[in-house]
Amino acid sequence: MELTRAARYAIAAISFVAAQKTNAPIASHVMAQARGIPERFLLKVLKPLVSAGILTSLKGPNGGYALARPATQITLLDVVEVIHGPIRGPQLNRFDGNVNKLDRDLDAVCRRCAEQMRRTLQRVRITDLAARP
């Protein structure tokens, strides 16, 4: 699996918010500067995280972004799937309905790999990443 720049930025932003000593909202420009992320791109990444209930957004002069739930309850899988969509094995796209045994076997292997990846990402909490410099 390859993480896109958007997923890496989302993880960097959330881990930055989680590492703060306070739950006060953090302005996007503060996150962007601290993590070296272009703010315009960061704003595009933050929007689906708010929609998914991972972050909250507060408008106004003292506004910004905060975690919507404790960092111990947010996994790397949560963040990656918000940005990339569900992790799953490939779907066999046979329009003629003709799927052979090799295709079925390959599909099963890919589904097992995807499930293993999901389990691995689910074990990593944002707090694990926030603790790292």
Domains in the chain, CATH or no CATH each: 5-85+125-130 (1.10.10.10)
More confident residue, 122 or 108: 122
- Are the C-beta atoms of 9 and 127 separated by less than 8 Å? no
pLDDT above 80 for 98: no
Over range 26-54, report the average pLDDT.
95
Over range 119-128, report the average pLDDT.
93
Query: Whole-prediction pTM value?
Result: 0.84
pLDDT tens digits, one per residue of 52-92: 999 999 998 889 999 999 999 999 999 999 999 888 766 66
Half-sphere exposure (Cβ direction) of 131: Cα atoms closer than 13 Å: 7
